[in-house]
Amino acid sequence: MNTLQLCLILSGLVFGIGLAAALARSSAILVLLGVELMLNAANLNFIAFWRFGPAPEAGTGVLFVLFAIAVAAAEAAVGLALVIALYRHQKSIRLQEATRLKG
């Protein structure tokens, strides 16, 4: 096993932790944090492939990570504003109680 494979396995494990948290937890904030962890796992992949790829001088992986961090920051801001709006309406951030749109 070379170093690139080790990085990719680390990224896969981080993604698995984020996915399990997003599926298991009831709190909207913890679900959002699980999604953030999955985004970070994807960023780990970009950096690993840039680091061990054939043409690191192009800088594509680093640029992609910078844009992904910017988009993740925007997603966190909007997501947490939605959490606050959810709390204002139902006085709880438990996702099981957010059933207003249920048919």
Partner 1 sequence: MNATLVFLGIFILATAGTALSLHNIVRSVLLLVLSWFGIAAFYLWAGAEFAAFAQALVYGGAVSMVVLFAVLLTGRGHGDAAIAPPPPGRLVAALLAGGAVAGLIAATVIRTPFASVSDDAPSLPVRRLGALLMGPHAAALLVTGVLLTAALLGAVVIAAGARDDKKGPP
Is 5 a binding residue for partner 1 by CB under 8 A? The answer is yes
8 A C-beta contact, residue 93 and residue 87:
yes
The answer to whether residue 93 forms part of the interface with partner 1 (CB under 8 A) is yes
Alpha helices in the chain (DSSP H): 3-24, 28-52, 60-90
Instruction: For the CB of residue 60, give the shortest distance to partner 1 in the complex, in Å.
Output: 9
Amino acid occupying residue 100: R
Question: Residues with Cβ < 8 Å from 85, sequence gap 6 or more?
Answer: none
Instruction: Give how many residues touch partner 1 by CB under 8 A.
Output: 72
Q: Does 90 help bind partner 1 (rule: CB under 8 A)?
A: no
Using CB under 8 A as the binding rule, the residues of this chain from 28 to 87 that contact partner 1 are 29-30, 32-34, 36-37, 40, 43-44, 47-48, 50-52, 56-57, 59, 61-63, 65-67, 69-78, 80-85, 87
